[in-house]
Amino acid sequence: MKRLPQCIALFLLFTCFAHSQTDGNAQRRDTIIDGKLKVDKRIPSIKDSIDIRSFKDDSLSLALDEFWFKELYSLEAFDSIYNDVSQLNYEEVEYPELSTDTLKARLARLNARTPFNVEYNPSLESVIKRFLKTRRNSLQNLMGLSHFYFPLFETELDKHDIPLEIKYLAIVESALKPKAKSRVGATGLWQFMFTTGKMYNLDVSSYVDERSDPIKSTEAAAKYLSKLYEIFGDWDLALAAYNSGPGNVTKAIRRSGGYENYWNIRHNLPRETAGYLPAFLATMYVFEYAEEHGFKPNKPEFNFFQTDTVHVKQMISFDHIAEVTGLNIETIQFLNPSYKLDIIPKVEGKIYTLELPLEALGVFVANEDAIYAYAKEQFEKREKPLPQFFDNDTKVTYRVKSGDYLGKIARQYSVGVNQIKQWNGLRNNNLRVGQRLTIYPRGTPSASKPAPTSSNTSTVTNTAGKKTYTVSQGDSLWSIAQKFPGVSVENIKQWNKMTGNSLKIGTVLAVSQ
């Protein structure tokens, strides 16, 4: 894939990310061997090994450490914020670290640079101090996630002439969880209901929920907020209407005797909406004055500017993509949250995209035909008798422990995340401690059969009784894994304590446990 200079690439990603795509017709494979660029103009096929030696050190996978995986799967922060907003009270909070005079001065500075009404009042002081006192850890984690999402939000909001401070609304709405779902069915970063999402062209099907797509849902939220501002001419009231609907705000104005300031009609709004704007303003204050309050957020080592998208031409699963790129499936899920079953479908008249780190995208595009052929082959194998009809000794019952997530369990048993979900009737990635999962480890009749062992594969058995393989010219982790039934890229990396995907000719790898 032809690469632009970094500064130009970042600029293009920043300005037109939502519509970007990579040329899917590329048939050239460029690899780096011994520090030199080698151009290969062959058309890749299923038999070609996918060369991922151009990866520097699988930096994205390293950046998405255990903290980020837990952030991806956990909805605790969303539940906490939802409860805070719906049950907010305004009793005085003892927090000597922030004096009333200091708060008044800071709010005045904030009020001068935002169209929202951030003037001091005792209720707002109570909410701010309560957040600082009781929600410090969750807010610090959210500040870390904000470094990933806020640049995207600001780009879309600026396109639609929306105040950039609206980015804090996504924290109050969803705790920056693309897959967050409220008790009434509102979904995604911006918590769209099904019908409202449809009004703003957010597609929802068995495979896809675009309310969870960060780019499309942000664009829809900007359009909806613009319309609400046209109606009320006030951003405070527009936010209240976003939460409870324009009708409830209009009724609250009437019942209040015609007042149009949010704080004057708050007592006539639904309970949740009454706490909505104070929670938004309190969040804005904490983020804007985070340094003054000693917050030290964990920043991700990557952001949207280090990724790009490609149009998908054929149905493919996240398992397939992870296998051929060497990425953790959690990384793919994090970057593509709108796909409900970890499968990207192919539907006539629809365009679906795959978002990947730039390095992995180069590998995907350069080997597109081979990857689609591999995916097709794997899909054709999945029409099998149901697992429950096999003998019980082929299955494992796994009890979920604290810190577990589907990707971690899948790697432990060399199976796919989708398989675990299918075997256990799971519709999402959420797990609870103590939950029992039925798993058919790779090699049992219910697990997908890998490609047969190549007849010319050269292996030996070492003194520990393990099979080993010596890396030769043209090998990649994926091509080596294909030579051994039941062995995945993750297995090889785990057995050989590898953190990246780079291979050196002559290296002896363990290929059995």
| CATH code where residue 409 lies | 3.10.350.10
d(CA 195, CA 192) in angstroms, rounded, equals 8
Q: pLDDT at position 488, please?
A: 74
pLDDT-derived band at 62 (thresholds 50, 70, 90) equals very low
Higher-scoring residue by pLDDT: 362, 482: 362
Q: What is the mean pLDDT of residues 16-44?
A: 34
Helix (H, G, I), strand (E, B) or coil at 161: coil
Say yes or no to pLDDT of 499 above 80.
Answer: no
Q: pLDDT at position 462, please?
A: 60
SS3 content of the chain, % helix, strand, coil (to 5): 50, 10, 40
Q: pLDDT at position 344, please?
A: 93
Say yes or no to pLDDT of 15 above 60.
Answer: no
Say yes or no to pLDDT of 43 above 50.
Answer: no
Q: How many other C-beta atoms are found inside a 10 Å radius of the C-beta of residue 371?
A: 24
Say yes or no to pLDDT of 505 above 70.
Answer: yes
Q: pLDDT at position 105, please?
A: 96
Say yes or no to pLDDT of 231 above 80.
Answer: yes
Encoded tokens for 292 = 């003054």
Based on the fold, state whether residues 146 and 41 are members of the same structural domain.
Answer: no
Final residue of a domain: which of 227, 253, 288?
288
In contact, 463 and 429? CB cutoff 8 Å? no
Numbers of helices and strands, H then E, in the chain? 23, 11
Encoded tokens for 445 = 């009749």
- Outline where 50-121 has alpha helix (H): 59-63, 66-73, 76-86, 100-112
Average pLDDT, the chain: 77
448 within domain boundaries = no
pLDDT-derived band at 78 (thresholds 50, 70, 90) equals low
298 within domain boundaries = no
Q: pLDDT at position 234, please?
A: 94
Based on the fold, state whether residues 265 and 335 are members of the same structural domain.
Answer: no
The set of long-range contacts for 155-160, using a CB threshold of 8 Å and a minimum separation of 24, is: 155/14, 155/15, 155/17, 156/18, 156/215, 156/218, 156/219, 156/222, 157/218, 157/222, 159/219, 159/222, 160/219, 160/222, 160/223, 160/225, 160/226
Based on the fold, state whether residues 401 and 272 are members of the same structural domain.
Answer: no
Based on the fold, state whether residues 268 and 373 are members of the same structural domain.
Answer: no
- Outline where 160-206 has alpha helix (H): 169-174, 194-199
Q: What is the mean pLDDT of residues 71-84?
A: 53
pLDDT-derived band at 85 (thresholds 50, 70, 90) equals low
Higher-scoring residue by pLDDT: 144, 1: 144
Say yes or no to pLDDT of 299 above 70.
Answer: no
Angle at 505 between CA 500 and CA 507, to 5 degrees: 70
Higher-scoring residue by pLDDT: 499, 290: 290
Residue-wise pLDDT for 337-348, tens only, equals 999 888 999 988
CATH of the domain at 94: 1.10.530.10
370 within domain boundaries = yes
Higher-scoring residue by pLDDT: 341, 473: 341
Q: pLDDT at position 182, please?
A: 83
Final residue of a domain: which of 334, 349, 381?
381
Say yes or no to pLDDT of 91 above 80.
Answer: yes
Based on the fold, state whether residues 403 and 359 are members of the same structural domain.
Answer: no
- Outline where 164-317 has alpha helix (H): 169-174, 194-199, 214-232, 235-244, 246-255, 262-265, 271-274, 276-288
Among the ranges given (89-93, 172-176, 213-217, 361-365), the one the predictor scored with the smallest mean pLDDT: 89-93
Q: What is the mean pLDDT of residues 235-258?
A: 93
| Secondary structure of 400-460 as H, E, C letters | CCCCCCHHHHHHHCCCCHHHHHHHHCCCCCCCCCCCEEEECCECECCCCCCCCCCCCCCEE
pLDDT-derived band at 47 (thresholds 50, 70, 90) equals very low
pLDDT-derived band at 12 (thresholds 50, 70, 90) equals very low
d(CA 428, CA 222) in angstroms, rounded, equals 27
d(CA 89, CA 306) in angstroms, rounded, equals 42
Q: pLDDT at position 264, please?
A: 92
Say yes or no to pLDDT of 14 above 60.
Answer: no
- In the chain, what is the straight-line distance between the N-terminal and C-terminal CA atoms, in Å? 37
Based on the fold, state whether residues 375 and 391 are members of the same structural domain.
Answer: no
294 within domain boundaries = no
* Beta-strand relationship, 343-344 and 467-470: unpaired
Non-local CB neighbours of 239 within 8 Å, separated by 6+ positions = 169, 225, 276, 277, 280
Q: pLDDT at position 258, please?
A: 92
Based on the fold, state whether residues 279 and 322 are members of the same structural domain.
Answer: no
Based on the fold, state whether residues 253 and 339 are members of the same structural domain.
Answer: no
316 within domain boundaries = yes
Among the ranges given (123-127, 135-139, 495-499), the one the predictor scored with the smallest mean pLDDT: 495-499
d(CA 167, CA 187) in angstroms, rounded, equals 17
Percentage of residues of the chain with pLDDT beyond 70: 73
Percentage of residues of the chain with pLDDT beyond 90: 35
**Candidates 71, 165, 173, 210; catalytic one:** 173
Helix (H, G, I), strand (E, B) or coil at 117: coil
296 within domain boundaries = no
pLDDT-derived band at 84 (thresholds 50, 70, 90) equals low
* DSSP structural state of residue 245: -
H or E, element range at 489: helix 489-495
Based on the fold, state whether residues 316 and 274 are members of the same structural domain.
Answer: no
User: Domain limits at 496?
Assistant: 459-510
Give yes or no: 173 in active site: yes
Based on the fold, state whether residues 323 and 404 are members of the same structural domain.
Answer: no
Encoded tokens for 402 = 């604290």
Q: What is the mean pLDDT of residues 73-102?
A: 72
Q: pLDDT at position 432, please?
A: 87
pLDDT-derived band at 226 (thresholds 50, 70, 90) equals very high
Helix (H, G, I), strand (E, B) or coil at 363: helix
Burial class (CB in 10 A: 0-12, 13-18, 19+), 242: buried
Q: pLDDT at position 52, please?
A: 35
Based on the fold, state whether residues 97 and 233 are members of the same structural domain.
Answer: yes
pLDDT-derived band at 463 (thresholds 50, 70, 90) equals low
Q: What is the CA radius of gyration of the chain?
A: 26
Say yes or no to pLDDT of 397 above 50.
Answer: yes
300 within domain boundaries = no
pLDDT-derived band at 426 (thresholds 50, 70, 90) equals confident
Count of structural domains within the chain? 4
In contact, 382 and 425? CB cutoff 8 Å? no
d(CA 7, CA 372) in angstroms, rounded, equals 32
Higher-scoring residue by pLDDT: 166, 47: 166
Q: What is the DSSP string of 287-316?
A: HHTTTTTT------S--GGGEEEEE--S-E
Based on the fold, state whether residues 365 and 397 are members of the same structural domain.
Answer: no
In contact, 381 and 448? CB cutoff 8 Å? yes
